[in-house]
Amino acid sequence: MDPSTVLPHRAPFLLVDEVTEVVAQHSARGYWRLTGQEWFFSGHFPGRPTLPGVLMIESIAQLGGVCVLSGERYQGKLALFGGIDKARFRRQVVPGDLLELEVTMTRLGTSAGKGHGLARVGTEVACEADLLFVIVDS
């Protein structure tokens, strides 16, 4: 699934290339393929391009947005960041890597929710975090 069919994000800030699996309001999987042509690599860091950790978190959150907004319950809504807890960065992500993303909702209410997300390169965890989000009218 093309994430732009659910999310309002567009290039250069759509950080999920494909959603491969979604169970609306429960879980989702997808990926972001880092080509090296992305706008941030030239300055982070010159000579040693590295995906910024905050963008890994954002890619997980965007997948979470797809998960939450895919069902009828939240049609016409927007999921916004409310907080990030227990974020850990465990592996450098570089051009050429395929960042595999997954998110599972742990609590979902009318106007807010929580989820846990992971980003992997192969079998190695690159990043994981608990996300808090609020649901507002779009």
Provide the total of helices (H) and of strands (E) in the chain, helices listed first. Answer: 1, 6
The DSSP secondary structure of 73-127, one letter per residue, reads: GGTTEEEEEEEEEEEEE-S---TT-EEEEEEEEEEE-SSEEEEEEEEEETTEEEE
Domain carrying residue 123: 3-137
Rounded to two decimals, what is the model's pTM? Answer: 0.97
Q: In what order do the strands lie in the sheet with 124-137?
A: 18-23, 27-33, 98-108, 112-121, 124-137, 77-89
- HSE-CB at 115 with a 13 A cutoff on CA atoms is 32
What is the rounded CA–CA span in Å between residue 3 and residue 14?
A: 8
Give the number of domains in the chain: 1
Residues of the chain with pLDDT under 70: none
The sign of the torsion formed by the CA atoms of 14, 125, 65, 45 equals negative
44 counts as catalytic: yes
The pLDDT of residue 70 is 94
The pLDDT of residue 127 is 98
For residue 135, give the 3-state DSSP assignment: strand
The pLDDT of residue 71 is 86
* Assigned token pair, 17: 């290339």
The residue annotated as part of the active site, out of 9, 26, 44, 116, is 44
Tens digit of pLDDT for each residue in 90-99? 999 999 999 9
Here the CATH number for the domain that contains residue 47 is 3.10.129.10
Calculate the CA dihedral of residues 3, 12, 89, 35 and round it to 10 degrees. 90
Residue where the block lists tokens 């907080």: 83
